[in-house]
């Protein structure tokens, strides 16, 4: 956990006539690649016949021209890119999940984490359900399927399932004739939809994916809302609306792409505003402001703009390597950091440097980057985080699962500066993070910073459950006498 891990990304479309929906889904997932880089999958609906392909790897590795052609044409598709916040990252956990049940078939793509997933899974297992994955997304698919066999329509089943799900979920469900978009009552993670000129409706985790396929953004799916797309157009159901909104503020700070708009606000502008707030809180006498690519760049520009200190390019990024946490072993992640970034020595040598990054988690990557700047001849390095200090685990989809490894939980700010080798360290003040988009801050979840969780907490997370069950029996406390 040297760096924050992304959410997942979901993409779906409903076309008025048969077309190459697999190619459209491919481009949509490509635009959402930053949200998950472990696996990718697409399911195409061709008059009720589902064709699917998914595997571990990046979108362009999983979907070769041959694999895409096998999916063929259709009038609907759902796609998914995954990072494993719950369960392991193997192929069995790749999505979308396809279920064949008594009344037909269904495909599901999910982003988020349920806080009651472990309880629901135990209940389903006691009733005879057999699980093939370790993700809470399969729990959602079972709950919907269980409701579907008792109800008249898939949308009734989804509404009934929503009443049982607790926590974060933005998901798409595809049936033989409908595409359904759902967002939890707190709206933890974004989900939006738009329309192309040919009448195709497109749903995605972020608006940048709509741009990638030529769709015009219409609006966000509201917290608690279910939208059903059929040949007659979208139909909204707000049965579960009315809850208090708690959008993950880290979507603006790190997760989302800067060209996306969330809840009407520009991600790029929000990150620049974070930099301006940092300039107010930490006025530093320096020669240059640089950002860590990619999500630290906008905040660095905002700091430079507010402070008057020149903005510069401090790192050259290798565009042909994924984010460092794709590699499962720490040593491999460290190797990737070295080949991913290289210091632009001519811009840094002899300078007092303000270094802006999106966060400081464990401190290991920050320390390595500071050492790189020192090695390039920087006289001073002042490390600023455009996020507040992480002090609490997240139960809603971002992979911060333990206070044990969070550097801010175990060290003071001066100690952190000494550990990572910086002259000073500063975090975005918590009271500023909620003002990034110009509002009064209501409607954001900041639990990972301030500890104010908007829901009940799980008694046992799915992740800890599977980590325990996968240990050797000799090391598993469940089997000790």
Task: Note whether 32 and 321 are within 8 A (CB).
Answer: no
192 catalytic residue (yes or no): no
Residue 101 φ/ψ, nearest 5 degrees: -130, -175
Residue 128 φ/ψ, nearest 5 degrees: 105, 0
Contacts from 118-126 at CB under 8 Å and sequence distance 24+? Answer: 118/458, 118/459, 118/460, 118/461, 118/462, 118/465, 119/459, 120/164, 120/165, 121/462
For residue 174, how many C-alpha atoms fall within 13 Å in the half-sphere facing its CB? 34
Pairing of strands 226-230, 233-237: antiparallel
Question: In 10 A of CB 293, how many CB atoms?
Answer: 18
3-state SS string over 149-183?
Answer: CCCCCHHHHHHHHHCCCCECCEEEEECCCCEEEEE
DSSP state string for 50-102:
EEEEEEES-HHHH--HHHHHHH--EEEEEEEEE--SSS--SGGG-S-EEEEET
Cα–Cα separations (whole angstroms), residue 165 to 71, 117, 183, 312: 32, 8, 11, 47
Task: Note whether 227 and 235 are within 8 A (CB).
Answer: yes
Of 389, 447, 458, 417, which Cα lies nearest the Cα of 166?
458
Of 44, 36, 180, 27, which Cα lies nearest the Cα of 111?
36
Q: How many residues would you count in the chain? A: 481
Catalytic member of 8, 208, 445, 448: 8
Q: Is 291 exposed, middle or buried (0-12, 13-18, 19+ CB in 10 A)?
A: buried
Give dist(CA 182, CA 155) in Å, integer: 10
Task: Note whether 110 and 8 are within 8 A (CB).
Answer: yes
Give dist(CA 284, CA 88) in Å, integer: 43
Cα–Cα separations (whole angstroms), residue 170 to 3, 167, 338, 390: 23, 10, 35, 24
Of 194, 139, 189, which Cα lies nearest the Cα of 164?
139
User: Which residues participate in catalysis according to the annotation?
Assistant: 8
């Amino acid at each position: 956990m040297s760096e924050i891990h992304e959410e997942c990304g979901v993409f779906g479309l409903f076309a008025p006539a048969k077309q190459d929906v697999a190619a459209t889904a491919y481009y949509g997932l490509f635009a959402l690649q930053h949200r998950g880089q472990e696996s990718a999958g697409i399911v195409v609906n061709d008059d009720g016949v589902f064709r699917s392909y998914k595997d571990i790897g990046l979108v362009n590795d999983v979907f070769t021209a041959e694999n895409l052609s096998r999916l063929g044409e259709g009038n609907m598709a759902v796609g998914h890119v995954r990072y494993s916040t719950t369960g392991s990252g193997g192929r069995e956990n790749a999505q979308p999940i396809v279920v064949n049940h008594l009344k037909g078939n269904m495909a599901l793509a999910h982003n988020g984490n349920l806080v009651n997933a472990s309880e629901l899974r135990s209940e389903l297992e006691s009733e005879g359900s057999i699980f093939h994955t370790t993700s809470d997304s399969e729990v959602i698919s079972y709950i919907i399927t269980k409701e579907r066999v008792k109800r008249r329509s898939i949308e009734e089943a989804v509404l009934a399932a929503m009443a049982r799900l607790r926590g974060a979920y933005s998901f798409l469900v595809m049936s033989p004739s409908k595409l359904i978009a759902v967002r939890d009552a707190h709206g933890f993670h974004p989900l939006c939809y738009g329309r192309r000129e040919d009448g195709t409706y497109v749903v995605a985790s972020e608006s940048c994916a709509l741009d990638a396929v030529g769709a015009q953004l219409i609006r966000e799916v509201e917290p608690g809302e279910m939208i059903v797309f059929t040949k007659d157009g979208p139909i909204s159901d707000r049965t579960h609306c009315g809850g208090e909104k708690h959008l993950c503020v880290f979507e603006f700070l790190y997760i989302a792409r800067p060209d996306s708009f969330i809840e009407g606000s520009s991600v790029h502008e929000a990150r620049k505003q974070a930099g301006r707030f940092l300039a107010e809180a930490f006025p530093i006498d320096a020669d240059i402001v640089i950002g860590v690519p990619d999500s630290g760049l906008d905040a660095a520009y905002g700091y430079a703009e507010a402070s008057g200190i020149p903005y510069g390019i401090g790192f050259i990024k290798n565009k042909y390597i994924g984010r460092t946490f794709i590699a499962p072993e720490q040593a491999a992640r460290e190797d990737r950091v070295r080949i991913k970034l290289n210091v632009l020595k001519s811009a840094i040598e002899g300078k007092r440097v303000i270094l802006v990054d999106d966060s400081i988690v464990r401190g290991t990557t920050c320390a390595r980057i500071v050492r790189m700047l020192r090695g390039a001849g920087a006289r001073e390095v002042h490390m600023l985080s455009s996020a507040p200090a992480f002090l609490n685990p997240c139960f809603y989809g971002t992979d911060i699962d333990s206070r044990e490894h969070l550097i801010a939980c175990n060290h003071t700010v001066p100690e952190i500066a000494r550990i990572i080798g910086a002259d000073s360290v500063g975090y975005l003040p918590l009271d500023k993070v909620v003002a990034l988009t110009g509002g009064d801050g209501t409607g954001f979840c900041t639990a990972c910073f301030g500890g104010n969780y908007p829901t009940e907490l799980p008694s046992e997370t799915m992740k800890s459950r599977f980590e325990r069950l996968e240990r050797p029996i000799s090391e598993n406390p469940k089997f000790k006498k």
